[in-house]
Amino acid sequence: IQHIDKEFLPIMAQQFNQVSNIQVDIPISGMSINIPSCIVYPTDENIVINSDGVLELVAMNNVYAFSPCIDEACSNLVKNIKNVHMAVFSGMSNDGIAAAKIIKDSGGKIITQLESSCVLSSIVAGVKEKISINFEGTPKEMAQYIINK
C-alpha cells in the first residue's frame, strides 16, 4: 500500500507490467482475481474480494490523517484475503505499524527495509519495535526474499 494519487495508477501499472512476471491491474468492480495477482487501487476506495474471487470497489467514507490509511486498508485485506503479507519500506509516521501487527497476528509474514538503507526509517523502526519480523534487507534483498518464497 502506497500513498499515490489515483491519476498515477495507470502509469504505475504500466511500469510494473514492463518488468513483472505477474500481471498488474487497476481494479474494476466485478472483475475476477486470479492468483498470483497484483492490484493497484485508488486511495479513495477499498477493495472487497468475495469467496468466489470477485472484486468490488467500495468508497472510503472515513477520514484519516493519511490517505489511504495503511492500517485500515490492511485490516480490510486481512478480512477478505488469506495469506496477506507485508513489505515495509522507508517512510515516516506510524501509519502501517498496526497493520503489520494485524497481518502478523493473522499468520502473515512481515519483511522490512534495512534501517540503514532508509531515507526515513520511523515506520520501519516502529514495526520492528512492536512485532518480530521475518526478514530485513535492502529493497533488492527484499525483492529476492519474496521471489525465493
pLDDT digit of tens for each residue in the chain (149 aa)? 565 677 888 988 898 889 888 888 988 999 998 877 788 877 677 778 888 889 898 887 766 555 667 888 788 888 878 888 999 988 877 888 999 999 999 999 999 999 999 998 998 999 999 999 999 999 999 989 988 88
Please give the model's pTM, rounded to 2 decimal places.
Answer: 0.72
Closest C-alpha among 45, 33, 39, 31 to residue 12: 39
Distances, alpha carbon 19 to alpha carbons 24, 122, 140, in Å: 10, 30, 14
